[in-house]
């Protein structure tokens, strides 16, 4: 029987939650998983606990699963990125018919998405690579969705994607919360939009994750300064984050940080141990931040703070080496700073300014990428669909939307007057915090590299004149002159050049 509005393959947590989200919006959804046990467990769970259970149909045979979906079929994949995605597509293809659409909701590498889109459209099918952000809760009650693919395929998917995406208030731009099983949010502005063709959606999701990495690292540096330089405990620091979440720094990541820091260890019955102090200081990564940094290197886009955030995780992972080195390599040992209130305020400024630079880098990277990969990205809309549902959701993103709505061709976010003024207002504190951290020997790689980006970008003159001369000296790589038109290249025979005779 052909009854399902949409199908979904891959019933790990993200797949299950997205299926329930779709069913809650009144759609009938067919689900399939490589192991049928998982499908049975899921549908049994739905029957027992989910108001929308009758709209979730489980299938054992992939052929029956595909047949149950109305044409042109829409089949969402939530399987592991990479080989598993290709294997799932290969398993589906023999059962598909003309114009059927596969939607990949995994964290796929955008070049894989370009390849898959090309291969499937050559066979008369369509392929959408859709970024899905917001973790398990987002998938269940409203993720941020970043689809890329043909306009025709998008037109077919759009009503469902708009329904299930996170919603924000049309006036304040704040995420509308409060959905429960069977009761999704009604109204509001949907956090999805057609991002562009082929791999554009997955590319934008990748940059979202690169920004997520640096956003998290900056927060960790602020925490580290309060802990080490000001001698504050986790709970006290959590209160500062709680306060920051009421102002211009308000965001999901600041909110969860405040919450994390105020948790005590359930293993300690006295309630005197902060839980975060029990978590080992080594960070994992699945690769999307690294892809962002690697692509920035490839395109020559200066996303140094994003790369720094990836390296900071790599350094954190060398736990044993760091422990051994700490007994050998000595740094300064200063007493804690006592001007607590002022320094906390300065750290907040450092965090905000660095965050502006990080987002400027992410958007600058997308500006370069759209030229390279032939996309037309709407940056105001991208910031808008990140307002709700995703991990980097923040009030701040409305300012980014406003900046691109004022000037779609904005060269760099830092040049928008709101951000220029914010950087001007905060920079003294920002510099002071980095100087203090340096004196105390506390690593702040993300604060520091964001400041280097700001100082580099605003420098009409950089020492690259000397660098270019060095390149010409040893490799005849040529140089341009300040007193000649751009594009004229010179080379000199360096050993024969006249030298000033030093009188010293
Ligand atoms: C999201 C997250 C999600 C996931 C990252 C984490 O937008 O919902 O970004 O995609 O949490 O993959 O990445 P790491 O494991 O590399 O930190």
Q: Rounded CA gap, 220 and 226, in Å? A: 10
Q: Rounded CA gap, 149 and 154, in Å? A: 7
Q: Is 142 left (phi over 0), alpha (psi -120 to 50) or beta?
A: left
> Which of 90, 40, 80, 83 is CA-nearest to residue 60?
40
Nearest CA to ligand 1 atom 10: 133
Distance, first Cα to last Cα, the chain: 94
Q: Structural domain boundaries of the chain? A: 6-198, 202-453, 464-503
Burial level of 328, CB count in 10 A (0-12/13-18/19+)?
exposed
Nearest CA to ligand 1 atom 4: 135
The pLDDT, as a whole number, for residue 304 is: 98
Active site residue 40: no
- Which two three-digit tokens encode residue 261? 């820091």
| Residue to probe by mutation, ligand 1, list 211, 286, 306, most atoms within 8 Å of CB | 286
- Which two three-digit tokens encode residue 221? 């540096």
**Any ligand 1 atom below 6 A from CB of 212:** yes
Nearest CA to ligand 1 atom 12: 286
Q: Give the strand pairing for 167-168 and 144-148.
A: unpaired
**Any ligand 1 atom below 6 A from CB of 288:** yes
**Any ligand 1 atom below 6 A from CB of 491:** no
- Which two three-digit tokens encode residue 420? 């220029």
Per-residue pLDDT of the chain (504 residues; tens, 9 = 90+): 669 999 999 999 999 999 999 999 999 999 999 999 999 999 999 999 999 999 999 999 999 999 999 999 999 999 999 999 999 999 999 999 999 999 999 999 999 999 999 999 999 999 999 999 999 999 999 999 999 999 999 999 999 999 999 999 988 888 999 999 999 998 999 999 999 999 999 999 999 999 999 999 999 999 999 999 999 999 999 999 999 999 999 999 999 999 999 999 999 999 899 999 999 999 999 999 999 999 999 999 999 999 999 999 999 999 999 999 999 999 999 999 999 999 999 999 999 999 999 999 999 999 999 999 999 999 999 999 999 999 999 989 999 999 999 999 999 999 999 999 999 999 999 999 999 999 999 999 999 999 999 999 999 999 999 999 999 999 999 999 999 999 999 999 999 999 987 666
| Residue to probe by mutation, ligand 1, list 15, 18, 104, 107, most atoms within 8 Å of CB | 107
Contact of 42 with 174, CB cutoff 8 Å:
no
The pLDDT, as a whole number, for residue 186 is: 87
C-alpha torsion angle, residues 20, 25, 31, 33 (rounded to 10): -40
Q: Which of 212, 227, 308, 355 is catalytic?
A: 212
| Residue to probe by mutation, ligand 1, list 135, 141, 207, 289, most atoms within 8 Å of CB | 135
CA 364, chain centre distance (Å):
14
The pLDDT, as a whole number, for residue 504 is: 60
**Any ligand 1 atom below 6 A from CB of 188:** no
Write down the pTM of the prediction: 0.96
**Any ligand 1 atom below 6 A from CB of 209:** yes
Q: What backbone torsions phi and psi does residue 228 show, to the nearest 5 degrees?
A: -90, -45
Consecutive H or E run containing 356: helix 340-373
**Any ligand 1 atom below 6 A from CB of 133:** yes
Does domain 6-198 match CATH 3.40.50.720?
yes
SS3 (DSSP) at 77: strand
Domain 464-503: which CATH class?
Answer: mainly alpha
The pLDDT, as a whole number, for residue 501 is: 79
Contact of 222 with 350, CB cutoff 8 Å:
yes
- How far away, in angstroms, is 390 Cα from ligand 1 center? 10
| Residue to probe by mutation, ligand 1, list 209, 219, 284, most atoms within 8 Å of CB | 209
**Any ligand 1 atom below 6 A from CB of 285:** yes
CATH fold group of domain 202-453: 1.10.1040
**Any ligand 1 atom below 6 A from CB of 143:** no
> Which of 41, 82, 77 is CA-nearest to residue 62?
77
Q: Which of 50, 74, 167, 205 is catalytic?
A: 205
**Any ligand 1 atom below 6 A from CB of 134:** yes
Nearest CA to ligand 1 atom 17: 285
The pLDDT, as a whole number, for residue 500 is: 87
Q: Rounded CA gap, 301 and 307, in Å? A: 11
Consecutive H or E run containing 16: helix 13-24
Nearest CA to ligand 1 atom 1: 133
């Amino acid at each position: 029987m052909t009854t399902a509005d949409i199908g979904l393959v891959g019933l790990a947590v993200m797949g299950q939650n997205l299926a329930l989200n779709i069913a809650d919006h009144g759609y009938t959804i067919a689900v399939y998983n490589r192991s049928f046990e998982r499908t049975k467990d899921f549908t049994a769970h739905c029957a027992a606990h989910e108001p929308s259970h009758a709209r979730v149909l489980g299938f054992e045979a992939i052929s029956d699963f595909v047949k149950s979906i109305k044409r042109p079929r829409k089949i969402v994949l939530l399987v592991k990125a990479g080989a598993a995605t290709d294997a799932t597509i290969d398993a589906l293809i023999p059962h598909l018919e003309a114009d059927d659409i596969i939607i990949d909701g995994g964290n796929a590498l955008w070049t894989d998405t370009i390849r898959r889109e090309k291969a499937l459209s050559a066979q008369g099918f369509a392929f959408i690579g859709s970024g899905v952000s917001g973790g398990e809760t987002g998938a269940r009650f409203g993720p941020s969705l970043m689809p890329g693919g043909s306009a025709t395929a998008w037109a077919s998917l759009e009503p469902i994607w708009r329904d299930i995406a996170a919603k924000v208030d049309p006036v304040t731009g704040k995420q509308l919360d409060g959905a429960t099983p069977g009761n999704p949010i009604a109204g509001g502005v949907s956090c999805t939009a057609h991002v562009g063709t082929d791999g554009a959606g997955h590319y934008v999701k990748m940059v979202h994750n690169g920004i997520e990495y640096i956003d998290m690292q900056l927060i960790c540096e602020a925490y580290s300064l309060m802990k080490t330089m000001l001698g504050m405990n986790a709970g006290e620091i959590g209160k500062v984050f709680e306060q920051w979440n009421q102002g211009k720094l308000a965001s999901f990541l600041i909110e969860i940080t405040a919450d994390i820091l105020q948790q005590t260890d359930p293993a300690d019955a006295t309630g005197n141990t902060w839980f975060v102090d029990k978590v080992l200081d080594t960070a994992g990564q699945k690769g999307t931040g690294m892809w962002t940094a690697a692509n920035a290197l490839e395109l020559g886009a200066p996303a140094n703070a994003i790369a720094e955030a990836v390296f900071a995780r790599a350094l954190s992972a060398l736990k044993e080496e760091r422990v051994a080195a700490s007994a050998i390599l000595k740094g300064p040992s200063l007493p804690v700073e006592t001007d607590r209130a002022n320094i906390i305020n300065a750290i907040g400024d450092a965090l905000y300014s660095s965050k502006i630079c990080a987002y400027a880098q992410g958007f600058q990277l997308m500006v370069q990428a759209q030229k390279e990969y032939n996309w037309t990205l709407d940056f105001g809309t991208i910031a808008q669909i990140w307002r709700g549902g995703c991990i980097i959701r923040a009030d701040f993103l409305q300012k980014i939307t406003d900046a691109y709505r004022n000037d779609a061709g904005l060269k760099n976010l830092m040049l928008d007057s709101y951000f220029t003024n914010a950087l001007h207002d905060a920079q003294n504190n920002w510099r002071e915090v980095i100087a203090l951290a340096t004196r105390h020997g506390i690593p702040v790689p993300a604060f520091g590299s964001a400041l280097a980006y700001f100082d580099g970008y605003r420098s009409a003159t950089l020492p690259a004149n000397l660098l270019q001369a060095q390149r010409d000296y040893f490799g005849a790589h040529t140089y341009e002159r300040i007193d000649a038109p751009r594009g004229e290249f010179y080379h000199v025979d360096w050993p024969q050049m006249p030298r000033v005779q030093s009188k010293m």
